């Protein structure tokens, strides 16, 4: 890769990277459609345009043309759009071909573009180039994928705000505030004879407290945004016949799972993607947990346990009419992976009489308890509200930002470093140690926007994109 002259993007000087390969992919999903779009980006765009269209279209003008194969025979007739770099999505020369959206046309068009020198783009490679060329920062690039994957209008709005740079702007504000703190502290270190006075300055303490507060506010929003983007994964577990599949169907509002009175009906995991007032919910129904020698049922239970270990919440269902609930509960709890938050849900309350079942848990594993009837719907609204509370979801307000678990983790590390920096300041007046913690906090912030990144992180983020974006 060689560097070309720098240009300005987002108010910064950025050096364009010249990638060795020109990439191409269909930007529209495969299948039938009125229009199908092939996108090409890289150094060979002009050459490919000449081969395919006979000329390079004028920049940013819709150009009606025949797309031709090597022998000059038309493949399709459509619009070509040329965006010269750096004023394109990727920052490179880009050509968009809008043809007829059929599989045969798209395949023939792509084959011709490959013949002319491009190679097939990896998932997310266009956006990765946009990031490497400073068109977007990493948090914005992630918001592109979140916008495409958004399953509700509130998630889409939140992703768009992050894509437009709202989240990144807040992170930069924090970086700026941290830089000022560091300047103050490092000045103190440089004048050791006055260090104590510098560090006793109330303005410094006030500023450190302000940084903590802005960080806490951003962390709250990022948590909310994470839930909106990624949703809450809930596993329904419990003994056979407890009513797990009935509860899944009740939450979904349709018959997703088979329900019978035969214990052991569900054997495989069943996943449904639902929505509670804009909160995306991934609900997984599982095979009932019990002793079994049937290899299919045992495999089902193994998968159930694996899903529970990754869940944000386990709803442990118990038949409220069953005898010996205390022993049953102990047996069920023993089968749960350690550390998952559990809500104990008594089901079949329509048959259990008016009195709520006693509270038999003594293990401390159960975080909360509820009573429902999956059959009649009693208590289901309360359960929905409970799940929203578990997610820390307070309804999708207008200003929500999209965020990911990765961002929340980074912000938590920032918080830890700032807390330690403040401790060093307040308890020990230790300037150097404080400066070190502030530096680490700033680095953790840089991971969010991608100023600090690793190839492995980039690989993980962009490989989850769709091809053609």
Ligand X SMILES: Nc1nc2c(ncn2[C@@H]2O[C@H](COP(=O)(O)OP(=O)(O)OP(=O)(O)O)[C@@H](O)[C@H]2O)c(=O)[nH]1
Which positions touch ligand X (CB under 6 A)?
Answer: 240-246, 259-261, 263-266, 287-288, 347-348, 350-351, 373-375
- Torsion, Cα 446 449 451 453, to 10 degrees, reads 90
Contact pattern for Mg ion over residues 173 through 212, marking x by CB under 5 A:
----------------------------------------
What is the rounded distance in angstroms from the CA atom of residue 138 to the CA atom of residue 409?
15
DSSP H stretches of helix in 122-152: 125-132, 138-149
Cβ at position 380, least distance to ligand X in Å: 10
Cβ at position 387, least distance to ligand X in Å: 18
**Residue 1 CB neighbour total at 10 angstroms:** 7
Q: Which does 4 bind (CB under 5 to 8 A by kind): Mg ion, ligand X, none?
A: none
Rule CB under 5 A: say whether 343 interacts with Mg ion. Answer: no
- Number of residues lying near Mg ion (CB under 5 A): 4
* Residues paired with residue 238 on neighbouring β-strands, in sequence order: 317
**Cα 220-224-229 angle, rounded to 5 deg:** 145
The pair of structure tokens assigned to 65 is: 């043309």
Q: CB nearer to ligand X: give 181 or 257.
A: 257
Q: Which does 351 bind (CB under 5 to 8 A by kind): ligand X, Mg ion, none?
A: ligand X
Q: Which does 278 bind (CB under 5 to 8 A by kind): Mg ion, ligand X, none?
A: none
SS3 assignment, position 3: strand
Q: Are 351 and 379 in contact (CB under 8 A)?
A: no
Stretch 242-281 residues interacting with Mg ion (CB under 5 A) = 244-245, 265-266
Q: CB nearer to ligand X: give 306 or 350.
A: 350
Cβ at position 264, least distance to ligand X in Å: 5
Q: DSSP E strands: which ranges in 277-336? A: 279-285, 313-319
* Residues paired with residue 344 on neighbouring β-strands, in sequence order: 316, 369
Closest CA to 141 of 206, 198, 89: 89
Stretch 6-25 residues interacting with Mg ion (CB under 5 A) = none
Stretch 44-63 residues interacting with Mg ion (CB under 5 A) = none
Q: Which does 347 bind (CB under 5 to 8 A by kind): Mg ion, ligand X, none?
A: ligand X
Closest CA to 38 of 82, 94, 83, 98: 98
Q: CB nearer to ligand X: give 162 or 245.
A: 245
Q: Which does 332 bind (CB under 5 to 8 A by kind): Mg ion, ligand X, none?
A: none
Cβ at position 351, least distance to ligand X in Å: 5
Q: CB nearer to ligand X: give 223 or 267.
A: 267
Q: CB nearer to ligand X: give 260 or 362.
A: 260
Which strand ranges, in their side-by-side order, compose the sheet holding 119-120?
63-68, 74-83, 94-101, 33-41, 23-26, 119-120
Rule CB under 5 A: say whether 88 interacts with Mg ion. Answer: no
Q: Report the interface residues with Mg ion, using CB under 5 A.
A: 244-245, 265-266
């Amino acid at each position: 890769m060689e560097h070309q002259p720098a240009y300005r993007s987002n108010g910064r000087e950025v050096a364009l990277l010249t990638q060795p390969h020109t990439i191409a992919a269909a930007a529209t999903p495969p299948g039938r459609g009125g229009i199908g779009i092939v996108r090409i980006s890289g150094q060979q765009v002009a050459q490919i345009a000449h081969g395919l269209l006979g000329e390079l279209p004028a920049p940013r003008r819709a150009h009606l043309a025949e797309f031709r194969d090597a022998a000059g025979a038309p493949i399709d007739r459509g619009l070509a759009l040329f965006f010269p770099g750096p004023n394109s999505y990727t920052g490179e020369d880009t050509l968009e071909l809008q043809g007829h959206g059929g599989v045969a046309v798209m395949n023939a068009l792509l084959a011709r573009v490959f013949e002319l020198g491009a190679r097939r783009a990896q998932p997310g490679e266009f956006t990765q180039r946009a990031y490497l060329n400073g068109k977007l920062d990493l948090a914005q690039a992630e918001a592109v994928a979140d916008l495409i994957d958004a399953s509700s209008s509130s998630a889409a709005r939140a992703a768009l705000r992050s894509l437009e740079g709202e989240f990144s702007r807040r992170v930069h504000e924090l970086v700026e505030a941290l830089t000022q703190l560091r300047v103050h502290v490092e000045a103190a270190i440089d004048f050791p004879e006055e260090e104590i006075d510098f560090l006793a300055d109330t303005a410094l303490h006030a500023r450190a407290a302000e940084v903590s507060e802005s960080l806490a506010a951003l962390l709250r929003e990022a948590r909310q945004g994470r839930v909106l983007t990624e949703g809450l994964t809930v596993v329904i577990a419990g003994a056979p016949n407890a009513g797990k599949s009935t509860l899944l169907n009740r939450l979904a509002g349709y018959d997703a799972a088979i329900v019978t009175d035969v214990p052991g009906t569900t054997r495989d995991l069943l996943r449904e993607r639902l929505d509670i007032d804009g909160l995306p919910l991934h609900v997984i129904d599982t095979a009932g947990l019990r002793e079994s020698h049937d290899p299919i049922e045992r495999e089902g239970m193994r998968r159930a346990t694996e899903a529970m270990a990754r869940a944000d919440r386990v709803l442990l269902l118990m038949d409220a009419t069953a005898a010996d609930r205390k022993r049953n509960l102990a047996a069920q709890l023993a089968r749960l992976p350690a550390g998952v938050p559990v809500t104990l849900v008594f089901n079949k309350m329509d048959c259990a009489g008016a009195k709520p079942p006693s509270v038999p848990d003594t293990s401390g594993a159960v975080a909360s308890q509820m009573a429902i009837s999956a059959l009649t719907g009693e208590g289901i609204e309360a359960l929905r509200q409970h799940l929203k509370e578990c997610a820390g979801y307070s309804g999708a307000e207008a200003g929500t930002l999209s965020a990911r678990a990765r961002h929340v983790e980074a912000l938590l590390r920032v918080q830890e470093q700032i807390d330690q920096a403040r401790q060093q300041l307040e308890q020990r007046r230790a300037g150097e140690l404080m400066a070190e913690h502030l530096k680490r906090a700033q680095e953790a912030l840089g991971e969010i926007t991608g100023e600090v990144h690793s190839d492995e992180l980039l690989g993980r983020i962009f490989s989850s994109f769709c091809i053609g974006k």
